[in-house]
Amino acid sequence: MIKRVYILLLLALLAPLVSAAQDDYIATQDDVMVIVRPIYSDEYDFLTLAKPDTSKLSLHIYEHNFFKNNEYFGDFVKGYTLIGFNFMPEITYRPWKKLEVSAMWNVLKYHGYDNFSEYKPYARIRFHATNKFSLTLGYLDAHVHHQLIEPIYNPERYITNNVENGLQLIYSGLRYYGDLWLNWEKFILWDDPWQERLAVGHISKLLVLDGAIKTHLTGQFLICHRGGQIDASDGQVQTLENGAIGFEFSKYNGSSWYFLMKNLFVQYHAIDRTNDLPYFDGYGIYNKLLARYKDFGFVCGHWYGNMFINFRGDPLFSCQAIYKENNRNKRAIIFNELYFNHKYNNILSLKVGINTFYNLYNSDLEYYYMISMIFDGNFNILKNKRK
């Protein structure tokens, strides 16, 4: 079964070759690819392009104020609350239309906690080789932008680990979208007492039916590694992989309503095995339905996991508990979400939502509720001269 999944993932990775032969998209926006991605949502259509920012010098102000209260009472994860803000001012210089040089300062602060959890500068260079392909070195378009499903990547990391750094390749065509990235999480020098940590991820979406209901073949994986050869740590080398393959069905009607269904087979494999792993191979079945009307959305889904372990995903979907004595061979969860999400004047987003997780095996009910406000504004400082 695992070998079949790898074959399917390989086919998904080769999809750009198929797309390139069929893609007759003609650039109409100065040969610059711009990808529109909403925050906190599966409502994403990679075929939608926005008018690119053509300013010579621009300032981007991003602030996310959040409150998320996890009411977890089971034996896998204990409840906790996240409340605070993330402030990310960014300045971008465009010497020409295909090149962006950006610097950003990331501030992450939890209310009631004296110290800053993050207070660091970052930089990146992004090159738009064509209207469909971009290369980024530095901080990435990350987290919810990757569109990984919750069992593989926890959306909460958008709050707790809100910056990824490394290398990113994005291809956005008429029939195919691909995102390949390397996130270098922990760097080592000679004789450092810790191991290096990194993650490699990819997602492919291939449009196979473009009718009243769009059908995409999607494949994704996330490989996480810890190790190194120059550190002084005695920790074991560990390489773990999560992957998924399946279909997405969507229908979009302007700004009125949206429908999305996901059906994916998910797997886990320990490439380098360590003593702290209860299982070396596992799998899961992930089904999700999203329906939105104007600003109101509803999500319902089902998850079944058999000896499945995730290492960056939502721990509620894993068969390995944070408390090792509570590990379970199988997990079956019904999850739901009800939310309100509205954008004011294209600069302020407000979202209020509640999520529930019901464990079918032991009748545990976990839930969280959240509210977030996001200010996201771009301001031109110096415009390009038009010839």
Q: Which CATH number is 283's domain given?
A: 2.40.160
Q: What is the pTM of this model?
A: 0.86
Please determine, for residue 160, whether its predicted confidence score (pLDDT) is greater than 60.
yes
Q: Which string of b and e fits 2-39 if b means at least 16 CB within 10 Å? A: eeebeebbeebeebbeebeeeeeeeeeeeebbbbeeeb
What number of CA atoms fall less than 13 Å from residue 168's CA on the CB side?
24
Please determine, for residue 217, whether its predicted confidence score (pLDDT) is greater than 80.
yes
> Can you tell me whether residue 158 is helix, strand or coil?
helix
CB 322 within 8 A of CB 77: yes
Distance of CA 336 to the CA centre of its chain: 19
Residue 162 tokens read as: 């809100």
Q: Which of 76-80, 136-140, 186-190 has the lowest mean pLDDT?
A: 76-80
Range of the domain at 147: 2-383
List, in sequence order, every residue forming a beta bridge with 126; answer none if it has no partner: 100, 136
Count of structural domains within the chain: 1
Q: What is the rounded average pLDDT of the residues 23-45?
A: 39
CB 180 within 8 A of CB 168: yes
Which one of 20-29, 116-125, 205-214, 338-347 scores highest in mean pLDDT? 116-125
| Closest C-alpha among 161, 168, 170, 195 to residue 183 | 168
